[in-house]
Structure 1
Amino acid sequence: MRKSLIGIIIVVLVVMYTSLFTVKEGERGIVLRFGKVLRDNDNKPEVFEPGLHFKLPFITTVKTLDARIQTMDNQADRFVTKEKKDLIVDSYIKWRISDFSRYYLATGGGDVSQAEVLLKRKFSDRLRSEIGRLDVKDIVTDSRGRLTLEVRDALNSGSAGSDDEVATPAADDAIATAAARVEQETNGKVAAVNPNSMAALGIEVVDVRIKQINLPAEVSEAIYNRMRAEREAVARRHRSQGQEEAEKLRAAADYEVTRTLAEAQRQALIERGEGDAQAAKLFADAFGKDPDFFAFIRSLKAYQSSFGGNDVMVMSPDSDFFRYMKTPTGNSR
């Protein structure tokens, strides 16, 4: 009896353990019965919020899916603008699951990598087509915000078939295939959605952002070389202008020096002439007062000039040149 009670308790504990499950914060749980998503009478999937829940043991399982906003970084890729110019665009996408049942069926059991592959293909095709409608100026200015908004809305709503100006056939075919698989597994009991939209995968694109826009390396190098050549041309022009100004300043300075020297020489000649005139006047006055003394001074200067060098003079002793060097006759003994 006691062993039976223990056995019953163990069975009850096992049933309770397999019947209770916990959904963590930031996650949602969907119930699967024999591999199929369990739905209510309104054909809506049963989605469990975070907390402790109960399920039928053994025949039902619970698949938890991440309900948080997720970020998918895209590798920088080359895009062509309306002007046939290449740009390297680096971007990212923020997305979340909007329909857990459809997401689970479309991605083969909630495979995040498969969902991101389809989302990346759709996004890349759409962004490529949108950039192809704009020129570089529109992309790098205020139109960038409108561009990302249009891409986000297009991903969520999908293309309108032949009426859509931007077609993304490669990505649309892959998403339409996943949507057809959902339609087949649910026997057409789910609401119809645009098979070209991310809603067909149960995904909502929250935001699209372009992180960086660069030119290809070869184009950047050509632009840098052209900018360098332009700057060098400007530098040469400024240098030639500077040399021209330097020559002008140098010529003006030389003219000013020449003019100043000429003016100084002119003034010096005037001063020298005035001095010579003054000296001549003084000599004349002195000569007029005492001619003999004046003649004596002139003779002394002549002696100084004649006897200061090594020149040899041959003169007659009776020459008047030596008259002041002779002994006066009145004083001879």
Structure 2
Amino acid sequence: MRKLLIPIIVIVVVGIFTSLFVVEEGSRGIVLRFGKVLRDSQDNPKVYQPGLHFKMPLIDSVKLLDARIQTMNNQADRFVTKETKDLIVDSYVKWKIIDFSRYYLATGDGNRANAERILNSKLSDRLRSEIGQRDIKDLVTDSRGQLMQDVRNALNNGYEDKPSEVAPAATEASASSQEERKAPATADTLPVDNKLPLVNANSMAELGIQVIDVRIKQINLPTEVSDAIYQRMRAEREAVARRHRSQGQEEAEKIRALADYRVTKTIAEAEREARMTRGSGDATAAKLFADAFSQNPDFYAFIRSLRAYETSFNSGSDVMVLRPDSEFFRYMKSPSVGLKQ
């Protein structure tokens, strides 16, 4: 009896531990029984909130889904504006799961890659449609916020552009007239009675998710277009620079010519004034000398001779060849001779 008690206790303890599971905060749980989603009394898939829960050991399995807001960074893609101009748009999406049972069934065992692939396809189509209705000016101004809001609302509420893309691994059509949504064709294939209520096929509610926000991170022109625009801008700036330089050189030549004219005019006027002043001074001096010397011509002749002697006899080596009776030596003779003459 004691030998049988130990295995029984071990089996009971293992059964208790395998029947317990914990859903952490920020997650939600879905229980699968024999591969089929466990439903409540109202035939709705049961979603387990964070906490400690029980399940049937061995026959039940738990799938945990992330309930937090997710971020999907899209690869930059080329779009065409209303002006038929190409743009490279880089964007991202914030989304979260709002219907965990639908999300699990529609994405194939809660595969996030499948959900983001479908979301990325719908986002790209919607962005292409919205950008095609706007020009570049609208995309780089405040109206870009309206564009993001329109894209988010279209993803959440659905649109009539075209039927939505359905993941091949996530769903398959049924033979009934209502074309009810079936389980994904994967290794964990669910039975056909895992039905989902019908929703707008073009909305993200089809996947059980909600788009929280759509943002454009960056808008660039294609490389070939950017190079052409930069070359044109450079040529325009160089043309403007050449025009400014030529205008500056023209103004500089005008200023230099005006300065040269003023300098020449000032010098000429100064020279004229100087000559007139010198001429007036010379005339006044000549008049003074004439008036002074006219009073005594003999004294004037004597002074002139003394100045001539002073200038001529500066050096003892000077030689002068003159006649002895020359008028130059008139005042070097005896005073009587000089006075008589």
Shorter chain as denominator, the TM-score bin is: 0.7 to 0.9
Please tell me whether residue 69 in structure 1 is matched to residue 69 in structure 2. yes
Indicate the residue corresponding to 1:183 in structure 2.
181
Q: Deviations over 1:123-144 (max 9, x none)?
A: 1122112111111011111121
Corresponding residue pairs, total = 323
Contact 1:175 1:200 in 2 (8 A): no
Deviation at 1:4, TM superposition (A): 2.4
Contact 2:107 2:167 in 1 (8 A): no
Change (3 A) 1:290 1:231: same
Indicate the residue corresponding to 1:6 in structure 2.
6
2:42 match: secondary structure: coil
Change (3 A) 1:295 1:206: same
Contact 1:158 1:194 in 2 (8 A): yes
Query: What are structure 2's unaligned runs of at least 5 residues?
Result: 174-179, 184-191
1:95 match: secondary structure: strand
Greater shift after overlay, 72-81 or 253-262?
A: 253-262
Contact 1:179 1:200 in 2 (8 A): no
Please tell me whether residue 324 in structure 1 is matched to residue 331 in structure 2. yes
Indicate the residue corresponding to 1:85 in structure 2.
85
Deviation at 1:178, TM superposition (A): 4.1
Contact 1:30 1:37 in 2 (8 A): yes
2:166 match: secondary structure: helix
Equivalent-residue separation in structure 2 for 1:311 and 1:158 (angstroms): 128
Indicate the residue corresponding to 1:292 in structure 2.
298
Change (3 A) 1:50 1:278: same
2:109 match: secondary structure: coil
The code of the aligned residue for 2:94 comes to K
Contact 1:179 1:201 in 2 (8 A): no
Contact 2:114 2:167 in 1 (8 A): no
Equivalent-residue separation in structure 1 for 2:17 and 2:281 (angstroms): 134
Change (3 A) 1:202 1:312: farther
Query: What are structure 1's unaligned runs of at least 5 residues?
Result: none
Deviation at 1:291, TM superposition (A): 0.9
The code of the aligned residue for 2:327 comes to D
Deviation at 1:187, TM superposition (A): 3.9
Indicate the residue corresponding to 1:140 in structure 2.
140
Equivalent-residue separation in structure 1 for 2:57 and 2:226 (angstroms): 64
Deviation at 1:201, TM superposition (A): 1.5
Q: What TM-score, normalized to structure 2?
A: 0.86
Q: Deviations over 1:226-282 (max 9, x none)?
A: 222222222222222222222222122212212221221122112212211221122
Pairing 1:4-83 to 2, within 5 Å after superposition = 4-83=4-83
Contact 1:27 1:67 in 2 (8 A): yes
Equivalent-residue separation in structure 2 for 1:249 and 1:12 (angstroms): 108
Equivalent-residue separation in structure 1 for 2:93 and 2:67 (angstroms): 16
Pairing 1:1-333 to 2, within 5 Å after superposition = 1-160=1-160, 164=161, 167=162, 172-174=164-166, 178=170, 180=172, 183-185=181-183, 186-187=192-193, 189-302=195-308, 316-328=323-335, 330=337
Structure in which a larger fraction of residues adopt helix: 1
Greater shift after overlay, 57-66 or 247-256?
A: 247-256
The code of the aligned residue for 1:324 comes to Y
CA RMSD for the aligned pairs? 2.6
Deviation at 1:296, TM superposition (A): 2.3
Greater shift after overlay, 193-202 or 71-80?
A: 193-202
Deviation at 1:312, TM superposition (A): 9.5
Equivalent-residue separation in structure 1 for 2:79 and 2:98 (angstroms): 30
2:92 match: secondary structure: strand
Change (3 A) 1:205 1:330: closer
Change (3 A) 1:208 1:38: same
Change (3 A) 1:311 1:223: farther
Deviation at 1:297, TM superposition (A): 2.7
Identity fraction in percent:
67
Deviation at 1:298, TM superposition (A): 2.8
Contact 1:175 1:197 in 2 (8 A): no
Change (3 A) 1:56 1:24: same
Equivalent-residue separation in structure 2 for 1:176 and 1:81 (angstroms): 32
The code of the aligned residue for 2:146 comes to R
The code of the aligned residue for 2:182 comes to Q
Q: What TM-score, normalized to structure 1?
A: 0.88
1:94 match: secondary structure: strand
Deviation at 1:302, TM superposition (A): 4.9
Q: Deviations over 1:16-66 (max 9, x none)?
A: 011100011110000111111111232211000111101111211110011
Change (3 A) 1:308 1:89: farther
Displaced runs of 4+ in structure 1, greater than 3 A? 175-182, 185-189, 299-319, 324-331
